[in-house]
Amino acid sequence: MLQCQGYGATVTITDENLVIDRRGLLTRMIGPRQVVALGDVVGFHVRQPSMLTNGWIQLCVGSMRSELGRSVAPSDPHTVLFRRGQREQMGTLLQHLQQWVDDNRHRSQMPIRPTDSLQPSLRKTSDAVPAPAQVPLRASVVQRSIDVQVFTGPSFVGFDVETANGARGSICAIGLTVVTAGQITATHSWLCRPPEGLDRFDAGNTRIHGITAHDVARQPTFRQRLADMLDVVGDLPLIAHNAAFDVGALREASAADGSTWRPLDYGCTLQWSRRELPDLHNHKLPTVARALGVDLRHHHDASADASAAAEIALELMRRRGASSVDTYVTATGMMLGRATVEKAIAPRNTTRDGTPRTSGYRASATPPPPHADAAPEHPLFGHTVVVTGTLSGLSRDEAWSLLAKCGARVNKTVTRRTTVLVAGGWLDRNGRPQETEKLTEARRLQAAGQRITILDQRQMEALLAGDRTVPLPDLIAPATVDAYALADDSDIAPQNRNDPRQQVRGRHFTAWSEPVKQLKRDGRLDEALELLFEVIAVVERPENCWGGAPATGWTEQAAIVYRKQKNFAAEVAVLQRWIDAAHRNGCSVTESDPIPQRKAKAQALLEKSRS
């Protein structure tokens, strides 16, 4: 099977059919899928993409037809468009199509115009795709054998930049890693001269990445490298770790240089890993790479960081069973962002219509801390408050400021510390009221026993004015939370959530992260260990060991519990169990890996306790 990526379409060739799967606007114009029997393909017309326009392959199905014009071609069901950066994919598809056309001609002896007359544009440019006629052709359909390695999977471009100074637009290095159908097919590492006015090199930046003004003095300008980059990216999405910085740097550098480009879709593996790997102590690129078994030897080298981001994205998609970026973001609700030089819409976390979208590129301002001179007798004093939805006549920042003046601690997200949620209104595009994710999470924690009061705007304003008739949780009385009611696997893709090989107590094993934490808070350490070992038994199974090594978080949690109990022998044993499982599954483990390092410390404590 062969799979090629065109503009807005994926072309798959099986033994008998050519399948065109379209997405976006083309789906509405033409339909989501066309299936063409390969035996019906009698010829094709080709036009190479140019700097300003798309190219195409127009199939002749059943009989020859005239080449369609540029105004008609995009809406033709048997035409596949390609951008400049997709010439290689286009060439691969042409090679295989030519084999089929010749095979079909041999079988039917039907007269077909010479191949040269079907593709005049392939000879016009020096960097054109090699003509399919150069490919050795087979004379028999039965004996067809295509000596091309073919892969299927997500296609995107890993992306990273390095900057010369504190200005984000001072780009001095660009790294790109091209992923085609699930495989890394190209890596680019370019130095460039930052845009004029942003070309100062600070010692702090040089200390991080090692690039100096001398290194870039004879390199192309940022504008030239930007053109090269856009050629490589084509219409594929960009994936970066902390994409807010890298895409922001690209926008600021382009604005400083007077450059512009079409909208670019982009995703962020920092956001993805925070959602998918909540047990990590942080989600920096080296930490996430290490947790997923991704090699990152030269952090802050643009190409190395771009490759690491690409491999992290591939691993996260593989864990979800996602065959494309679109499939992954749909399964997780972590929708892609979109950027131009003038504006950007940040990636957003939403799984249903009506959830508030993040409309600005930069993150919201940090909520203010409680005022030092707030009156302790105020009803909101000491409470942890979260605001969600839209407030009438009051901005989010204004609401935060008023709450902080009363001595409330304002948070942006609902956590186990939240005691008050102020729920403003939120309407979908049809004017129907919707429930935000924060409100859903607050209700879930309420059901588990956490004391959270949910207020509307009117009640919040009454409390701000000192009204004590609005009931609030008691900050002194300890809350009784049902740890097991916190289990939640609703964000797991159905095929994984319902896989019995990944279930613990009837739920996907990832659902038990919060219950374990709550059991530890409640001092129910033996129950936490019992649950942890059930999960460990599941993640040790070879089919659940991505990359050969079991997920580390569960073993580390068990080790932490044993450390609290000062049971160092048990801590060493559970850590050794992880190492043994990794070895059984063919995964090499070094002394610098987190689990062996933790085991060495536990072993030292054990020997000290015995002496």
pLDDT in tens, 599-610: 999 999 999 998
- CATH T-level fold of 2-134: PH-domain like (2.30.29)
What is the rounded average pLDDT of the residues 516-522?
88
Place of tokens 């400049």: 84
Judged by phi (left if over 0) then psi (alpha if -120 to 50, else beta), residue 158 lies in: beta
| Confidence at residue 393, expressed as pLDDT on a 0 to 100 scale | 79
pLDDT recorded at residue 491: 59
Q: What percent of the chain has pLDDT over 90?
A: 36
Closest CA to 438 of 475, 411, 463: 411
How confident is the model over 573-579, as a mean pLDDT?
94
> Has residue 549 got a pLDDT over 90?
no
- Read off the amino acid at residue 426: W
Residue 274's CB: how many other CB atoms inside 10 A?
Answer: 16
Phi and psi at 286, nearest 5°, equal -65, -35
Split at pLDDT 50, 70, 90, the class of 365 is low
What is the DSSP pairing of strand 171-180 with strand 183-191? antiparallel
Q: Give the domain 364-481 fold.
A: Rossmann fold (3.40.50)
pLDDT band at 394 (very low <50, low <70, confident <90, very high): confident
pLDDT of residue 441: 82
pLDDT tens-digit series, residues 275-306: 888 767 778 999 899 888 888 878 889 999 99
Return the CATH number of the domain spanning residue range 156-349.
Answer: 3.30.420.10
Please count the other Cβ atoms lying within 10 Å of the Cβ belonging to residue 352: 11
**pLDDT (0 to 100) of residue 126:** 33
Does residue 322 register a pLDDT over 90?
no
> Is pLDDT larger for residue 387 or for residue 397?
387
**Total Cβ atoms within 10 A of residue 201:** 19
* pLDDT value at residue 71: 62
Residues 6-16 as b/e (b if ≥16 CB within 10 A, e otherwise) read bbbbbbbbeee
What are the tokens at 513?
């992260």
Is pLDDT above 50 for 129? no
* Lowest-confidence pick of 113-127, 215-229, 327-341: 113-127
Convert 342-387 into a string of H (helix), E (strand) and C (coil): CCEECCEECCCCCCCCCCCCCCCCCCCCCCCCCCCCCCCCCCEEEE
- In 3D, which of 204, 271, 281 has the Cα closest to residue 240? 271
Cα(584)–Cα(156) distance, integer angstroms: 33
At 122, the pLDDT band (50, 70, 90 cuts) reads very low
Supply the DSSP string of 58-122, one letter for each residue. Answer: EEEESS--PPPPTTTGGG-TTEEEE-GGGHHHHHHHHHHHHHHHHHHHHHH------HHHH-GGG
Does residue 324 have a pLDDT over 70?
A: yes
What is the band of 207 on the pLDDT scale with cuts at 50, 70, 90? Answer: confident
Over residues 235-269, the pLDDT tens digits come to: 789 999 999 999 999 999 999 999 989 899 999 99
Rg (CA), the chain: 29
Quick check: 385 pLDDT over 60?
A: yes
Per the CB < 8 A criterion, the answer to whether 368 and 296 are in contact is no
- Contact partners, residue 346, CB within 8 Å, separation at least 6: 244, 337, 358, 360, 361, 362, 363
Question: What is the pLDDT at residue 247?
Answer: 96
On the question of pLDDT at 196 being above 70, the answer is yes
**pLDDT tens string 9-27:** 899 988 888 999 888 766 7
In the chain, % of residues over pLDDT 70: 84
CA dist., res. 261 & res. 231, Å (int): 11
> Average per-residue pLDDT in the chain?
81
pLDDT band at 364 (very low <50, low <70, confident <90, very high): very low
Fold of 487-610: 1.25.40
Residue 111 confidence class, pLDDT cut points 50, 70, 90: very low
**How buried is 369 (Cβ within 10 angstroms: 0-12 exposed, 13-18 middle, 19+ buried)?**
exposed
pLDDT of residue 164: 93
Q: Are the C-beta atoms of residues 333 and 271 closer than 8 Å to each other? A: no
Domain-by-domain residue ranges, the chain? 2-134, 156-349, 364-481, 487-610
Dmax (CA) of the chain? 94
CB atoms within 10 A of CB 527: 16
52-56, 86-90, 209-213: which range is least confident on average? 52-56
103 or 52, higher pLDDT: 103
The angle formed by the CA atoms of residues 69, 73 and 76, to the nearest 5 degrees, is 135
Q: Is residue 1 predicted with pLDDT exceeding 70?
A: yes
Compute φ and ψ for 78, nearest 5 degrees: -105, 20
Confidence of residue 416 (pLDDT cuts 50, 70, 90): confident
The pLDDT value recorded for residue 58 is: 87
Compute the 3-state secondary structure of the chain and give helix, strand, coil in percent, each to the nearest 5: 40, 20, 40
| Mean pLDDT calculated for residue range 102-115 | 56
Which stretch of 111-115, 225-229, 265-269, 511-515 has the lowest confidence by average pLDDT?
111-115
